[in-house]
Structure formats: structure tokens, C-alpha cells
Structure 1
Amino acid sequence: MILADSAEVPVRNVVFVAPFPMPATLRFAAGIRSLKDVRLIGLFQQPPAEMSGWDWLHIVPDALDPDVLTHALQALTQKFGKIHHVAGILENIQEPLAIARQRLGIEGTDLQTATRFRDKGVMKDHLRAHGVPCARHARLRNEQDAWEFVRQVGFPIVIKPPSGAGAKATWRVRDAEELRGALSSLRPSPQNEILAEEFLRGREFSFETITLNNRPVFTSISRYLPTPLEVLENPWIQWVCLLPRDVSGPEYRDAHALGQRVIDVMRPGFAVTHMEWFRREDGSLAVGEIAMRPPGASISAMTGLVHDVDFHRAWARCAVDHQFDGPWERKFSAGVAFLRGQGRGRVAAVRGVDEAQRLMGQHVVEAKLPVVGAPKADGYEGDGYVVVRHPDTAVVERALETLIQTVQVVYA
């Protein structure tokens, strides 16, 4: 169905694909909507809650199936003519989109590049072959592979599916007993490969880029407090992500060099990228992984906040227009605290909100409080969040500390 009517025929047909149109995902679709001469077509498994802003919606049974996507894009081509761009921001959709693009001759990332980013084993093989420091790893096709890998690197190790996205699909295995339990649960086989990695110790950060034709034209750094894996293992921790105002000093010089090197090696083309990296206990750096997509965990929104720009539109300008409207000045620091607590069940109460508002509410720019009655969320992003911003990084750090010490989520 057509949802918008215009006297002018848009020049470019742009298809935005997501299985389920969540609010954070739709911010990027709004970025495309803001571009000139675009017919915005949504391709989803279910319609978005907000129907305005789309020129056409196409509903499919499985938006991750490349055959379904190919058929849908063929139908859209018959209706509207040439499809100029097919875009999506979720990590698990990059390979299906690449397959459909290649089949239909649509401009964009090819399958080889998408797999190089999506398959973490392929990624690390590629990085290590080019001398980029990253965790040692192995593909586990049976239990013997796992024990051989432990013999080489020792405990702890990290286990994840090869196509896992960040820490959400990751387990830390500390000893032989935990490994036996993991193997019993995961059952690695030639048909069910599991990725094992050396556990990287140290402080964890992210490194974002806007890359045009394999050249970073914008970079940003954020700090994880603590690491996402630690947060997943300790469900009571309220996780914090901080974007310092100044990331140009000598303490980040080697990180910028590493990020540039990874882009040179991985060659994402025209893309926003999100790399997780560690400063190890000896001061050296190592790459955790890199994704050819915008960052989650409110980092995209905060990247816009610290530069006082619309980062979602910047992604669209990169993905669709192959342009960047910079350079930008980093005017602020920003941070997010994700709200959760001890226990299980449903949210019974959220305590300390009024006190937190009194102490640091003037710095809050966005908030989503936990909903009483909602089941406890599984991920490290918790049941709600608060984003703060200020020109002084120290003020942001104090505000985040106040939040996690004052606000308490209670479950019953």
C-alpha cells in the first residue's frame, strides 16, 4: 500500500529492510526519509507501529531469507522500476541483503565483504593474516577441538557462534567443568560449528567510523564500563557506556592508528562501522571484532549528541548518497546508564528516580524508565536507560555514577 502521496516522482527507490521495525531501527529509516529525491520503501515482517513517512510498505514472511528478499525486490522493481539502494542496519541481515543485491545487480556491499564482517572466524583469520592483533581463535567441530584449543591458550576462553553479534551470544568458560557443560549444551559438529576465542583481559572500548570508498572520513571512540561480557555474567550490574569529549590526545593515538589499519584491511566500502577493541593489561591493543553496521547500545544517538548532529541521517548520507557532511566538532561528552537490578521476575518498582532527578536531572537528554509489570530483560542493556550530556567529561562521569548508585530496579 502507498502511504504517502506526492506530486513529484522521487528519483531514487530506496528499500529499508528489517525483520521487526523497532524504534531504534526506525531512527535510521527516518535518516533516509530526510534525504532528497527518495522514495522510501519499507520491507518488514510486520508493519511499523507508526505508518506515516513511508511511500510503500512490503510485508514478507521472513526478512532474513535471501530467497524471500530476492522475490520481494523483484516485485518492487516491477512496481517502481529500478531499485537504487537496499539498506539495513542489523548485523544478521547483512549477508542476506548482499545475496539479494548480487542476484539482482543492485549496487551495494557484496557477499564476500559481508561475510568477512559477519563471520567472526573469517574476520579474525583475515585480520591476523594482515598482522592486526586480535584474539587467537579456533572453529570447534567436535569436543576434541575444544580441548586442543584450551591446551594452546589456557583458561578462560570465550565461546560464541561464528555469526554472533557482540557479547549477547558470548560465554566465558573458566575451567574444565564449565567447558564440559558448554560442550554438552552446544554440541559442536561439522554442521554446528562453534567459535572459541582467547579471552582478552583489559579495558574495552569501541571505535566507530563513517567510511567512504574504504577511507574513514569520521571516527569516534567510546568506553565500556565494565565490559559487556562482565555485565552479562553479573545481572545486577548497571552497565555504562561513555563518550569522552576529547579523544584526540596521546592516550588514544594508537587506537586511531589501529582503527585505520583495520579499515584498510577489512575494506567496508561505503559504510558506518563499529569496532570493539581492548587495551590489555600490558598496554597493548587488540581487536575484539568489527561490524559493518552502526553501533547499538545508544552509541549511535550519543555520537550525534556529542557532535550536535543527526547521526542517523549521517548514516543515510553515507549508505545512500555516499557523502559525509563533515568535519564535525566534538562539542560534548555523553554517556548512557542501563537500568536493571538483582533478582528475577517482573519489574515491581523503580526506586530513586526522584532523587536522581534532583541530583543530576539537568544533564539528562533522553530517558526510558523500566515499565512496572514488564518481565526482566535478558541483555546487558537492561530494562531502561538514561542518557546524559555535558561539555565536561567529568560532569558526565559523575552524573552516570549518581544514576547507577541512586536508581534501583526491583523485581518480583
Structure 2
Amino acid sequence: MSAPRPRPERPALLLVISRRRRFTRHVLDRPDIDTVLLCPETSTVEVPDGRPAFRLRAGVPAEEEAARYRRWLFDLGLPRPAFFCNPDEAAQPLAHRFAAAAGLPHLSPRQVRLVTDKVAMKELFAAADLPAARFRPVTSATEVKEFADRHGWPVIVKPAVSGSAVDTWKVDADRLAAIDLTLRSRPDRRWIAEEYVRGTEHQLCALVHEGKVQDAYIAVNPAPILDTLEGAVNGDITLAPSEPEPVDGRAVAQRITDALDLRTGYLHGEFFIRDDGSFVMGEIAARPGGAELPTSHGLSRGFDMLAAVADVYVGRRPELTYTRDRSVGELLLPTRPGVVTDISSLAELLALPGVVCGELTAAVGDRLDPPRASNAASGHVHIEGENSGVVRERMAEVLSRFRLEVA
């Protein structure tokens, strides 16, 4: 009789707390992964369930924080993680410097720059032989106008480092004075002017294991992200597997993976298909996709996308067995400033055609003060349909029925 095979030791993962609460909850609930939480001091996200979390200080040398972290693990009797995952875009430089000092897998300073700095991203796309919108650094309205004289109006003006379309503007000639004031009021930030791409905006996500893209997932935006700041439909719709893709997402993701030299993790990008059908790369990030986009991908194909994401971050090849062929979209529910006096219930929304799940983050009595950002919302719902066109129609119906009254 042969001896019993030893059980593999459970991997331990250091996970940065982020707004991706569903993913955090999934990882914490995994019986096959030991999870330790890391909370940058700049984070405003609450620690889930009062669990112990190492508070990472921003103004302290990474080596000093790593030594304090090891003592903290020992004092609490916590497992020492060998793996690292940072879903928080704003914490990328700080978190990966710390991970390097703690001896964990991490992005190098070069990689962090390529996935957080919009000027460096253009270098990355050029190295991957992918077309991107034309741009130039700017410091004044005069330079914005010079760019527009060459490439046309409108012009996109945005910080070189930012997320969720914060401080990003679509500028026409009559808004030059206003944008000049914005640029001059923030001399501490680097700004760029970028060509305005007329077309349809898409999201591209990919799972990477040992340098190879395991699969890629494409979603279409009902409206460009920048237009959602002016009231356009805010959401994304994962294409059904049987729908034609506007581009070979897996090939594009592999080019970026190679140029970035990414060994493992999640790629999240944005691209456009121009009105003439040509492809233009937008931006890229090396962390799980924003809001509930990964959930849409999983619902679309009938598999546990969050489990696959967690698996790649602990060095496992993800299990990608698909059981569904449908399109699923995430619709961010509108918000506006004021005290909520009435709002649709989740039960009302779930009764509408195609709505499969969701969450409300606002309730009667709450005071709302939403930022000018693409992720501002009073909640979200996931909507299914046989294809993205059906989901788009159902999103319009949900918005026509959704009720939000503020004082």
C-alpha cells in the first residue's frame, strides 16, 4: 500500500485593500488561500470585517516598512505571504515598492511607470506595435491650441497620471480660457493634450500566467467613458463568446504582455474602434478591471472569473471552463448631489427584464456628493441578453424605470 500523498501547502497572499469589494470578499472567503491584508495609509476603504491589516505608511523607506511588516506578522501569528496582489490603481507605486522590499512578486519601477503614466503608455504601445492616439505634453492653453491646430478640435486634456477620468476634459476652442486656468492652477501636475478619437470605446481584460495570456475578454461601452461625465449611459457590456470581436483581443493582450514583460496578473485596457473601422489603443493597467467588469465577464461565460483572477495571483493556471454563451453588462446607476428622499429598491430593479444581480450603495437619508469621475454611481446592476445589442436596450429600460430623488 503506497503512502498517502502530502497535501499541498496553502498559498498565502498579501492583498491590498481596494474599492473592488466583491473581489476582496471572494479572496477572504477562499478556504484554499491564506490572505493577509495591506492597507496604504492613503486609502479610504474600510477594512472588511475588522480583520487585521498592515497599515503601510507613505513617507517611510520601504525597507523600514518591510521590517515592521515582518514583526507585525510574527506578533499576530499570521502566515508569511509569498504572493502579492494590488487592485488599487492609486497605490501602484507605493504598494509595489513595498512588495519589492518585502521579497514579494511585484512590478518593477519601469513596469509601474508604463502602466500608470499616460506618456509612458505611448512608449509601451509603440513597443507592442499598437497604434495609439496622438498627443503632446502641455502646460498652457497656447500649447493646447497649437496641438488642436495640427490635429483638430476637440482635444482631450488630462493629467499624465490619473484614473476614472478625474480631471479629464474634452476641450473646444471656446473652452481654452477655462482649461488654461486649470493647467496654471495645478503646476504640480503633468498634463497632456490628446487627439479626440471618434468611434466606439471598448474594454479589454486578460489573465496572464507565466507570461502567456490564458484568455482575453472584450466589452463595449454604450457611450465613451468621458461622455458619461455629462450624463451618457455609464456601463460596459461584455460581448457574448459567439459575438464577433472588433479585434483579436488575445493577440493584442499578448503583445502588451510581452512589451511589458508581465509574468503573471491581470491586464485591463481600453481601446477604440474609429468610425472608419481602424483600431486605436487607449490606456492600460496591470490590475483587476474597474468596478464589476470581471463579474460581467464571468456571468457572460458561466464561470467563476474572480476565482480565476485570484488563482493567477497565487501562481496557479486558472481553470477556464465556460458553460454559458451570453452577453452581460454592468450598468452604473445615476447619482447626483443632495439628500436622498426616494430611490428604487433592488427588488424593483431585479424584476426588470434581464437584470440578474446588483447592489445599491445609496439609501434614503444619505447625503450624496459624487465626484466628477467615471465611477460615481448610486449602485449598479448586471443585465444579461443573448447579445450586446439586447443588453444595451435593456439598460435603457432600466434607466427609464430607475428612480432617484434628492432634496
TM category, shorter: 0.7 to 0.9
**Alignment equivalent of 1:316, drawn from 306, 310, 314:** 310
Post-superposition CA distance 1:265-324 (Å, at most 9, x none): 333321111111111011101011011111113212212222233322222111122421
TM-fit CA distance, 1:394: 5.3
Q: 1:405 to 1:225 in 2, by over 3 A?
A: same
Q: Which residue of 2 aligns with 1:85?
A: 83
Q: Which residue of 1 aligns with 2:240?
A: 245
Q: Which residue of 1 aligns with 2:54?
A: 58
Q: 1:197 to 1:70 in 2, by over 3 A?
A: farther
Q: 1:347 to 1:260 in 2, by over 3 A?
A: same
TM-fit CA distance, 1:397: 3.6
Q: Which residue of 2 aligns with 1:290?
A: 284
TM-fit CA distance, 1:247: 5.4
Asked if 1 retains the 8 angstrom alpha-carbon contact of 2:223 and 2:233, the reply is: no
Q: 1:371 to 1:110 in 2, by over 3 A?
A: same
Asked if 2 retains the 8 angstrom alpha-carbon contact of 1:66 and 1:97, the reply is: no
**Alignment equivalent of 1:371, drawn from 341, 363, 366:** 363
**Alignment equivalent of 2:225, drawn from 213, 224, 228:** 228
Measure, in 2, the Cα distance between the counterparts of 1:122 and 1:206. Answer: 20
Post-superposition CA distance 1:13-55 (Å, at most 9, x none): 432223xx54x33623632651635352443547845436x5x
Identical positions, percent:
20
**Is the partner of 1:209 in helix, strand or coil?**
strand
Is 1:99 the counterpart of 2:106 in the alignment?
Answer: no
Q: Which residue of 1 aligns with 2:30?
A: 34
**Is the partner of 2:314 in helix, strand or coil?**
helix
Asked if 2 retains the 8 angstrom alpha-carbon contact of 1:218 and 1:327, the reply is: no
Q: Which residue of 2 aligns with 1:335?
A: 329
Query: Which stretches in structure 2 are left out of the alignment for 5+ residues?
Result: 1-6
Is 1:178 the counterpart of 2:171 in the alignment?
Answer: no
Q: Which residue of 1 aligns with 2:13?
A: 14
Moved more, 181-190 or 274-283: 181-190
Is 1:406 the counterpart of 2:401 in the alignment?
Answer: yes
Asked if 2 retains the 8 angstrom alpha-carbon contact of 1:143 and 1:188, the reply is: no
Q: 1:13 to 1:75 in 2, by over 3 A?
A: farther
Query: Which stretches in structure 1 are left out of the alignment for 5+ residues?
Result: 1-7
Q: 1:190 to 1:410 in 2, by over 3 A?
A: closer
Q: Which residue of 1 aligns with 2:296?
A: 302
Asked if 2 retains the 8 angstrom alpha-carbon contact of 1:109 and 1:269, the reply is: no
Asked if 2 retains the 8 angstrom alpha-carbon contact of 1:338 and 1:383, the reply is: yes
- Greater fraction helix: 1
**Is the partner of 2:32 in helix, strand or coil?**
coil
TM-fit CA distance, 1:127: 1.3
Q: 1:149 to 1:349 in 2, by over 3 A?
A: same
Alignment coverage as a number of residue pairs: 391
TM-score scaled by length of structure 2: 0.84
Q: Which residue of 2 aligns with 1:4?
A: none
TM-fit CA distance, 1:205: 0.7
Asked if 2 retains the 8 angstrom alpha-carbon contact of 1:11 and 1:39, the reply is: no
Moved more, 81-90 or 310-319: 81-90
TM-fit CA distance, 1:164: 1.3
Give 1:43-192 correspondences, 5 Å limit: 43-45=39-41, 48=46, 50-51=48-49, 54=51, 56-60=52-56, 62=57, 65=58, 67=60, 70-78=63-71, 79-80=73-74, 83-175=81-173, 177-187=174-184, 191-192=188-189
Measure, in 2, the Cα distance between the counterparts of 1:208 and 1:219. Answer: 6
TM-fit CA distance, 1:117: 0.7
Q: Which residue of 2 aligns with 1:199?
A: 196
Q: AA paired with 1:57?
A: A
Measure, in 2, the Cα distance between the counterparts of 1:33 and 1:355. Answer: 29
Asked if 2 retains the 8 angstrom alpha-carbon contact of 1:206 and 1:274, the reply is: yes
TM-score scaled by length of structure 1: 0.83
Q: Which residue of 2 aligns with 1:5?
A: none
Measure, in 2, the Cα distance between the counterparts of 1:200 and 1:153. Answer: 11
Q: 1:35 to 1:152 in 2, by over 3 A?
A: farther
TM-fit CA distance, 1:120: 0.8
Q: AA paired with 2:382?
A: V
Asked if 1 retains the 8 angstrom alpha-carbon contact of 2:356 and 2:383, the reply is: yes
TM-fit CA distance, 1:89: 0.1
